[in-house]
Structure 1
């Protein structure tokens, strides 16, 4: 517009009229044009801000490391459960107390570094293995049973509730290591074998064909840190004049991370995330400390402790992808399913070959549900048909390949609630 005005002025031959028109234009029209251009810029910024996708701030990265190799000052990876950093010690008092109550007594926790396909029979059977317990009085042979450890699954379920409370879209957590921990329980023993106050010196378990996969003293990690934060200044009344806005400055803790308020649902109406602050709308009128789950962003580090391969649920992101995720997605064809699968970085090692609809499950699937805590209260589970997806690996399968496949299938499941989705390797 400015160029057009200048062009018209330059064509006027009468200098007196040009001077008069220039004064009029400079005094009113140019200010109006500049105002309009500024409003257009603000509108454009508002549209792009509406499409600001904070989802990448909530990508969950996971790994696994030996207890002695866990770095307490690691830039972004922390133990899922802080108590895992304490050395496992079998307490004889607790063991005898459980036996007196005629309950299975806990001995230790171990990790099985093998594919889910091999673990599946172990999960479906109640096998008894031989274990040796060494005390000051001698060596005792007992029978033990393995049960899948659910503590890490419970932590993921708690995280899902926190995501829901903060109104942040949920993506399945790709944590292949969390499902391979097993607790060892004492089930067969001779009466009077153990005595009060006796110290357990050593426990060894013979897992037969699983013995080569047994690993001890491993700790699962993820990029979530538990911390507390206080709002800046005094709470201010919200627009509804009922609740209050608690504003927390993110500069001291880092504006590039994701933040989830972990508290009582009754205290939180909703949360708003800005570039430099976090606003909590709550009925609480006084300043308070908030429990926060900080989802740290990964950083490259040339000096790091040895650990297992890092996994994540990260999406391959672009502006078009962010725009598409805000629309209602209709998945109607195999091509749509393939596009959905390949939005995840971890899908690069596999290829969808075939989709079949079965009336009933034949028990030959190689995957499990990673979102068992998400309930469907509308559809009856037993009435659902089976959507069986067959995948072809593009490279040699690692021990966590079927778990990564379970992650992909669990994500597809969220788009097909009318089916029960299963996956298998070709």
Structure 2
């Protein structure tokens, strides 16, 4: 508009009229234009701010490291289970009781650094392997079998319920490493163990799978538990029934994401601002609240993890953010491609094709990451299969053995958006 006005003024030959018009435009019209432009920019910023929300503060970053290399003061990564930092102590009494009742008992947990399809084949075979227990009284030959470890998946399920309690939409946690942990179950022992014995060493030979075996690895993520006390006395809420508990966040860091970890009956509503969280609760006394802090990742200056840091971070444009905000779903191949390309994993995996398959033949190499998300409206039986075919773009770092796990993450996200299908992934 300013350029148009300037062009019209320059074309006027009468200098007196040009001066009068220029003074009038400068004093009135151009100020009005600038005021309108400023209002338009504020309106645009407000629309984008409402669409963006604060979901980015709740991205989950995951990794894996050996126990001896764990950094207790890492900038943003913490053990999923704090007890993993301590050496495992095997309870001999539990082993003796289980063997006397001819039951199997957990001996140790190992990590298998290989594709999930190999682990799946191994677990389905229910093979038995040989091992050895070294105790304070001697050596014992033992027989073991492998079983899928569920400890870390249970932690993710707990996180899902915290998201629901906080009224936030659930996003699949992309932790490809935890599905490669297997429990070594003791099934038989040559000789009779005594409760007074102490186990000093456990060895298990997995035969052709021995090269995949890794010991003493700890899964990490950017979530840690905090306890915060309300900054003052609870304030009666507008409904005159509940109370508002204000938790200040400046000391713990306002750049991080926070989730209130509490019982549903104690939480009516949660309000968030930049520097505090307000919990509307029937509690009428100042109390300590348990929070989960989702730390904002920072560039690590010293040290480097051997295993790649993976996340469920999504890079959406305006349309994608608006769709998530309004919960609008478009049933099209373009929407599937857009969703997959919004994740960092699209740099490694490329969606080649998809099809609706009703044959019932399973060629999938993926697994469900959200088995705890139930669809109470649709039955799993009779669902058509939405088969997604991928190919690998590149091999980045040491992430080749988690490619099927990354594919499972992408397929699980598509599953949340297309619950009417049973989504599966395979290699093209």
TM-score (norm 2): 0.88
Q: Within the alignment, does 1:420 sit opposite 2:422 as a pair?
A: yes
Partner of 1:287: 286
Matches for 1:235-250 after TM superposition, within 5 Å = 235-250=234-249
Distance 2:214 2:307 in 1: 12
Farther-moved stretch of structure 1 (402-411 vs 313-322): 313-322
* SS of aligned partner of 2:279: strand
User: d(CA) in 2 for partners of 1:334 and 1:72?
Assistant: 45
Deviation of 1:223 (Å) = 0.1
Q: Which moved more, 1:296-305 or 1:147-156?
A: 296-305
Uncovered stretches (5+) of structure 2, i.e. residues with no partner: 6-18, 22-26
Contact 1:115 1:401 in 2 (8 A): yes
Shift of 1:56: 0.7
Segment drifting more, 329-338 vs 74-83? 329-338
Q: Counterpart in 1 of 2:10? A: none
What is the CA distance between 1:230 and its match in structure 2?
1.3
Q: Is the 8 A contact 1:367 1:423 kept in 2?
A: yes
- Determine the C-alpha separation between the residues in 2 that align with 1:332 and 1:41: 33
Name the structure 2 match of 1:18.
Answer: none
Identify the residue that residue 313 of structure 1 maps to in structure 2: 312
2:200 aligned residue: 201
> Taking structure 1 as reference, are residues 300 and 35 closer, same or farther at Cα in structure 2, changes over 3 Å only?
closer
Partners of 2:323 and 2:329 within 8 A in 1: no
User: Displacement, 1:79?
Assistant: 0.3
1:163 is aligned to 2:163: yes
Q: How does 1:391-410 map to 2 (within 5 A)?
A: 391-396=390-395, 398-410=400-412
Paired residues, number: 404
C-alpha deviation, 1:45, in angstroms: 6.2
Deviates more, 1:241-250 or 1:283-292: 241-250
Taking structure 1 as reference, are residues 35 and 347 closer, same or farther at Cα in structure 2, changes over 3 Å only? closer
User: Against the structure 1 CA distance between its residues 205 and 361, is the aligned structure 2 distance closer, same or farther, given a 3 Å change threshold?
Assistant: farther
Contact 2:99-2:187 at 8 Å conserved across structures: no
Distance between the aligned counterparts of 1:70 and 1:306, measured in 2?
Answer: 9
Moved more, 153-162 or 228-237: 228-237
SS in 2 for 1:326: helix
CA drift of 1:307 comes to 3.5
1:15 aligned residue: none
User: Using the alignment, how far apart are the partners of 2:171 and 2:61 within structure 1?
Assistant: 12
Q: Is the 8 A contact 1:71 1:305 kept in 2?
A: no
Query: CA 1:193 to 1:315, structure 2 compared with 1: closer, same or farther past 3 Å?
Result: same
Q: Which residue of 1 aligns with 2:350?
A: 351
1:362 positional shift = 2.2
2:85 counterpart of 1:85: yes
CA deviation profile, 1:391-421 (whole Å, cap 9, x unmatched): 0111237011100000000000011111110
Distance 2:371 2:211 in 1: 30
Alignment of 1:66-85 (within 5 A): 66-85=66-85
Runs (5+) with no aligned partner, structure 1: 5-9, 13-21
Give the corresponding residue for 1:377.
376
- Measure, in 2, the Cα distance between the counterparts of 1:38 and 1:352: 43
Aligned partners of 1:257 and 1:296 also within 8 Å = yes
Q: Deviations 1:151-189 (Å, cap 9, x if unpaired)?
A: 000000000000000011111000001111111111122
TM-score (norm 1): 0.88
CA contact (8 A) 1:69 1:305 kept: no
- Alignment partner of 1:381: what SS? coil
Q: Output the aligned Cα RMSD.
A: 2.7
The verdict on how the C-alpha distance between 1:360 and 1:245 changes in structure 2, with shifts beyond 3 A counting, is: farther
